[in-house]
Structure 1
């Protein structure tokens, strides 16, 4: 869940009406009356953009600042799939927006121009959200055709932080971006992922004109687990200063920190204080409870009793109503957490960051693009929680907002004076030792039928590996449902089994983060052994379940972004039947790792020890880095594939005489 905080940014400056402005750009701009678009004959792509121009212009409409947004695209479509995808063009038409220009056309390979009839500009409604949208329904498109469309939208201005993608999954030519603003309004830009810097056109006296032109933009295809949007070429811009207002920074984290503090840390009325105390009583906290226990209990209680809606509404942000009705929106939920923490005098900091898959927090460019997701940080335990992610719990926030920078807001109390400090700090990820899948398996052979095994499985999950199950155990009611849960862990290794006994340990939802969820199962199966004459084949690798296998036909281009650090510990104990020996024990040994700056980042190491007829196999696996740069990708892939290689190990049992 994401929260856009731009609405919380106060209007810190006074716009002044420009007296003698030039004509709006879009009024003198048009497409070519006789287009002559071409594509190189050797191009075989499904689609190419031969022109892509976006213009955003800020101007005053009487006393109000408004924004005119223009988009003009020309796309060459060269496949049935591309034609099917683009025979409808959806427009970003939002509440409060007014269409000024709206037209499209098809240019066939023979040069025939088919202008879009206005009746083909349609309006539809999203049944889920209730919002309306407009789209072009294009006709007459054949392979090799160009589709061209242009629209202008007048809308409320967005200037606190905007992101414009320059690069996409298809090749582009003639990519242009222009921004016009009154001469007193200064904008600041930053380019990412090899996009050139935005230039300033100094020839215009009454307006400021910022522009970017890129003749050719290579396509960027998505890859497995790549942070695609964060890796594409893009620019970020914001309104920086108003020269008519003493050049004060308009968008700064200092101002944003102040506004957030005012919103989330108000003084509480006597009524609110009473409701907070009643709410705290419902937590049923032990007088001896330490801070971690209290915060964990609070997190669990709010996420299981307060209904959160992802909509705007003053009532859903009113603390008194939230405490009375236990219904809130995302902002209201954060207010509730903070109010209880302040009442209990628990030190904490409000953190605002972003999803590193979408855009990594830039500590050097202050814009609301980087302030989309909230966390609460607890200095005493050095742990975080995600207040708006109902599927998470204290100590294990949404993983993609960790391993990233963030803006930390700390309340400072000096006597009767209260204020806030804002600092950019790194949000450390949860370490691999706290996110573990620990498996202990003991295997015996039936003396009369060596194709049948008796298996004792003891498996424990902690951290994110338990988070999809353990916090919701109170919802898994009934013996049958819980048995199905246990059986699912056996099914991951073999579909053929007969359960002898089952046990769930630490299956209390409130034990998440305190004790691992543990499954103990005894079962028999013929799924691991195959007979081959006098020999038997034991599928040792199947015990750990099927593993991810990464193939790479093309050279890796993008980095890989892991969710979280993680560890696997596996101990497999095999009691070899009397009269038999294993002749390929060396197949068990795998040792692959990647070390950087003296730290082992990834590793898979399997080994064995044979004492008498007892074979003990260990297969441990660790990942202590989330951001896998291209330079280390092959080493990472080798480690990942090591687990898949282990999964394929089959031990050969032969008569010892």
Structure 2
């Protein structure tokens, strides 16, 4: 979890000692091989792997997979180390690796950086039954240069071969966590999956399982309570197009909900989170307020401007002068060093907005492509990123994302619920109140990718001149527009040519221009636009006395959905978007085209009078001039799998147009 909000939870404890007295818990150093012992009264203090000399049996279906997980056991137990609340974790994995890819994925042990490893054992069992226990001193630790994630140490195991089992057990102790997440599903099949959460009866943890069975609650002894999820078999997570597969991965979320000290008062509610947002974003020290005032004067944004102009100007000034990443959240340091964390950007911009009396709310969002926001389960683990909402304009802004501008936030933060927090005045005191509500997605027309193409055939029909204008706005521009000005000049040309060549692969460039490629452009106001004139020999093929005009390829490669397997997931698009395309050409003198009707394609999904997805193509002919019009739109994020066929037809309609070839033959 790399989000700003959970990190700050560790720095601010709303309920202090009344919860678990853990606010000042020091970080425990990571020490592999330390002599620390697990307390004898822990449930799994004596957890050991079974002694064996042979691999576990697997099915023929499992043998066909790159790897299969045969044991996946995790137990978190919350207890006290003296006066300090801590978490003891025991994990046990057994993985059969069947291919080189399986070996590459599973010949490593991932150890969380946080906390202290107090026990670590690993072994391999070869197909011949050779058992090799790997001593800690022989384990190779991979460094950052090998691509290790920041929040893990990676221990590599040498000598793993196809058909081997990789097995490891480790135990660690870390600071008590009020929120947690455990993944129960992987990209390979798993068996004997067991998750346990054990805590003293003086505190109550709640859990919610997603895409799997509910956690069961039982009592281990008079002083302990256990939440448990047991699964005999978990299928591999299968990727599907037009869905956020990772968000459908089986997982369990858990949180501290009650403590004996607080009775039936629920802990860490959305209201509590709203108060924390107030402290994090709006509560500035005297020095920070002075820094905001000084910085505001330097920016020189007039308070007399219309509200939207002020917002745009403040955002542009901050994002063009402050670097995001690795910086402080303290505003004075942000202004002084010109470097900020995501939270630091939110605090600075919030301070400037307040200085200009611009009404705004702080919206804390999750990324629905990874963990969709669940309003019914108030775990703060899903509060990942900050956005601002402006009630007077009904627009959003992402303060910590320099690649976005007012009116657009990352698409994965939209079409989902979020915690929206606004300032309130209680007499002389200031506070905040939060509500969970939907963050709407932008309409399809705000994210266009439009093509205007004119084709002129050479008299000899050996080539054609193609004049092309490609307009990209909103999210359709997001992949290139913010980063284009950062590229060297030669790379900019390469990027533009690559976009044109998606329509005309063999393009010989006669001219190439770009509009709105400057830094800081707002993709909603200033669409990224490429204009090019190219020559192409490939747009026409000769077939005896006839010529084949590959008009369908001019719209570029299209997605298709010809899968035979049963659809498992609902459709979920990243964002709404549309394509308007116009292609014009003159039929050469002395030729005719008999199959112009092939240009007529229609597919709709949704209400007949107002479909939410559609592909419509057709043509008009005036004399020798033919104008092809194509309208394609996706204006709804979610679509049920029970109606998948209708969505598939729209997607495949564009792929079918891609294949349209017009036949030019002699004739009037």
Same fold by TM (over 0.5)? yes
**Contact 2:53-2:130 at 8 Å conserved across structures:** no
> What CA distance in whole angstroms lies between the structure 2 residues aligned with 1:318 and 1:546?
48
Match for 2:472 among 461, 466, 469? 461
> What CA distance in whole angstroms lies between the structure 1 residues aligned with 2:139 and 2:533?
64
Partner deviation per Cα, 1:87-111 (whole Å, 9 max, x = no partner): x33132414x222221123345565
Match for 1:7 among 10, 13, 19? 10
Evaluate the alpha carbon distance shift between residue 573 and residue 136 of structure 1 in structure 2; reply closer, same or farther with a 3 A threshold. Answer: closer
The answer to whether the aligner puts 1:310 opposite 2:314 as a matched pair is no
Provide the residue aligned with 2:410 in structure 1.
Answer: 398
Q: Counterpart of 2:606 in 1: which secondary structure?
A: strand
Provide the residue aligned with 1:423 in structure 2.
Answer: 435
Provide the residue aligned with 1:167 in structure 2.
Answer: 185
Partner deviation per Cα, 1:26-59 (whole Å, 9 max, x = no partner): 2233222357764255443433333221111111
**Contact 1:123-1:134 at 8 Å conserved across structures:** yes
Provide the residue aligned with 2:166 in structure 1.
Answer: 147
**Contact 2:599-2:657 at 8 Å conserved across structures:** yes
**1:305 offset after TM fit, Å?**
1.2
Evaluate the alpha carbon distance shift between residue 353 and residue 114 of structure 1 in structure 2; reply closer, same or farther with a 3 A threshold. Answer: same
Q: Counterpart of 2:612 in 1: which secondary structure?
A: strand
**Contact 2:14-2:276 at 8 Å conserved across structures:** no
**Contact 1:22-1:207 at 8 Å conserved across structures:** no
Provide the residue aligned with 2:244 in structure 1.
Answer: 227
Provide the residue aligned with 1:261 in structure 2.
Answer: 278
Match for 1:73 among 93, 112, 136? 93
The answer to whether the aligner puts 1:594 opposite 2:608 as a matched pair is no
Evaluate the alpha carbon distance shift between residue 192 and residue 471 of structure 1 in structure 2; reply closer, same or farther with a 3 A threshold. Answer: closer
**Contact 2:343-2:386 at 8 Å conserved across structures:** no
Q: Counterpart of 1:569 in 2: which secondary structure?
A: strand
Evaluate the alpha carbon distance shift between residue 308 and residue 10 of structure 1 in structure 2; reply closer, same or farther with a 3 A threshold. Answer: same
Evaluate the alpha carbon distance shift between residue 521 and residue 553 of structure 1 in structure 2; reply closer, same or farther with a 3 A threshold. Answer: same
> What CA distance in whole angstroms lies between the structure 2 residues aligned with 1:598 and 1:180?
55
**1:199 offset after TM fit, Å?**
1.6
Evaluate the alpha carbon distance shift between residue 596 and residue 83 of structure 1 in structure 2; reply closer, same or farther with a 3 A threshold. Answer: same
**Contact 1:175-1:216 at 8 Å conserved across structures:** yes
Provide the residue aligned with 1:380 in structure 2.
Answer: 392
Provide the residue aligned with 2:452 in structure 1.
Answer: 440
Evaluate the alpha carbon distance shift between residue 293 and residue 15 of structure 1 in structure 2; reply closer, same or farther with a 3 A threshold. Answer: closer
**Contact 2:110-2:152 at 8 Å conserved across structures:** no
Task: Name whichever of 421-430 and 275-284 sits farther off.
Answer: 275-284
Task: Name whichever of 395-404 and 322-331 sits farther off.
Answer: 322-331
**1:451 offset after TM fit, Å?**
3.1
The answer to whether the aligner puts 1:244 opposite 2:247 as a matched pair is no
The answer to whether the aligner puts 1:527 opposite 2:543 as a matched pair is no
**1:500 offset after TM fit, Å?**
4.5
Evaluate the alpha carbon distance shift between residue 104 and residue 297 of structure 1 in structure 2; reply closer, same or farther with a 3 A threshold. Answer: same
Evaluate the alpha carbon distance shift between residue 434 and residue 50 of structure 1 in structure 2; reply closer, same or farther with a 3 A threshold. Answer: same
The answer to whether the aligner puts 1:492 opposite 2:498 as a matched pair is no
**1:433 offset after TM fit, Å?**
0.7
> What CA distance in whole angstroms lies between the structure 2 residues aligned with 1:109 and 1:584?
62
**1:535 offset after TM fit, Å?**
2.6
**1:207 offset after TM fit, Å?**
1.5
> What CA distance in whole angstroms lies between the structure 2 residues aligned with 1:431 and 1:287?
31
Q: Counterpart of 2:296 in 1: which secondary structure?
A: helix
Aligned residues: 642
Partner deviation per Cα, 1:613-655 (whole Å, 9 max, x = no partner): 1211101110112234432333323222222221221111222
> What CA distance in whole angstroms lies between the structure 2 residues aligned with 1:511 and 1:113?
61
Q: Counterpart of 2:123 in 1: which secondary structure?
A: strand
> What CA distance in whole angstroms lies between the structure 1 residues aligned with 2:50 and 2:488?
67
**1:264 offset after TM fit, Å?**
1.2
Provide the residue aligned with 1:201 in structure 2.
Answer: 218
> What CA distance in whole angstroms lies between the structure 2 residues aligned with 1:454 and 1:113?
69
> What CA distance in whole angstroms lies between the structure 2 residues aligned with 1:425 and 1:406?
6
> What CA distance in whole angstroms lies between the structure 1 residues aligned with 2:621 and 2:113?
69
Q: Counterpart of 1:27 in 2: which secondary structure?
A: coil
Task: Name whichever of 390-399 and 573-582 sits farther off.
Answer: 573-582
Provide the residue aligned with 1:651 in structure 2.
Answer: 662
TM-score, length of structure 2 as denominator length: 0.88
> What CA distance in whole angstroms lies between the structure 1 residues aligned with 2:367 and 2:101?
31
Match for 2:562 among 546, 551, 564? 551
> What CA distance in whole angstroms lies between the structure 2 residues aligned with 1:428 and 1:606?
29
Provide the residue aligned with 1:90 in structure 2.
Answer: 109
Provide the residue aligned with 2:232 in structure 1.
Answer: 215
The answer to whether the aligner puts 1:350 opposite 2:362 as a matched pair is yes
Provide the residue aligned with 2:525 in structure 1.
Answer: 514
**Contact 1:8-1:260 at 8 Å conserved across structures:** no
Evaluate the alpha carbon distance shift between residue 429 and residue 609 of structure 1 in structure 2; reply closer, same or farther with a 3 A threshold. Answer: same
**1:120 offset after TM fit, Å?**
2.7
**Contact 2:450-2:470 at 8 Å conserved across structures:** yes
Provide the residue aligned with 2:619 in structure 1.
Answer: 608
Q: Counterpart of 2:324 in 1: which secondary structure?
A: strand
**Contact 2:581-2:630 at 8 Å conserved across structures:** yes
Match for 1:319 among 300, 320, 331? 331
> What CA distance in whole angstroms lies between the structure 2 residues aligned with 1:68 and 1:284?
54
> What CA distance in whole angstroms lies between the structure 2 residues aligned with 1:484 and 1:103?
51
> What CA distance in whole angstroms lies between the structure 2 residues aligned with 1:34 and 1:520?
69
**1:581 offset after TM fit, Å?**
1.8
Q: Counterpart of 1:25 in 2: which secondary structure?
A: coil
The answer to whether the aligner puts 1:48 opposite 2:60 as a matched pair is no
Evaluate the alpha carbon distance shift between residue 10 and residue 585 of structure 1 in structure 2; reply closer, same or farther with a 3 A threshold. Answer: same
Q: In structure 1, list runs of 5 or more residues that go unmatched.
A: none
> What CA distance in whole angstroms lies between the structure 1 residues aligned with 2:481 and 2:69?
49
What RMSD, in angstroms, separates the aligned Cα atoms of the two structures?
2.9
**Contact 2:141-2:156 at 8 Å conserved across structures:** no
Evaluate the alpha carbon distance shift between residue 509 and residue 200 of structure 1 in structure 2; reply closer, same or farther with a 3 A threshold. Answer: same
Provide the residue aligned with 2:31 in structure 1.
Answer: none
> What CA distance in whole angstroms lies between the structure 1 residues aligned with 2:518 and 2:161?
61
Q: In structure 2, list runs of 5 or more residues that go unmatched.
A: 22-38
Match for 1:539 among 547, 550, 554? 550
Evaluate the alpha carbon distance shift between residue 109 and residue 474 of structure 1 in structure 2; reply closer, same or farther with a 3 A threshold. Answer: closer
Evaluate the alpha carbon distance shift between residue 553 and residue 419 of structure 1 in structure 2; reply closer, same or farther with a 3 A threshold. Answer: same
Provide the residue aligned with 2:209 in structure 1.
Answer: 191
Provide the residue aligned with 2:645 in structure 1.
Answer: 634
Partner deviation per Cα, 1:552-593 (whole Å, 9 max, x = no partner): 143332334322110000111222223322110111011011
Match for 2:139 among 121, 127, 148? 121
Evaluate the alpha carbon distance shift between residue 380 and residue 181 of structure 1 in structure 2; reply closer, same or farther with a 3 A threshold. Answer: same
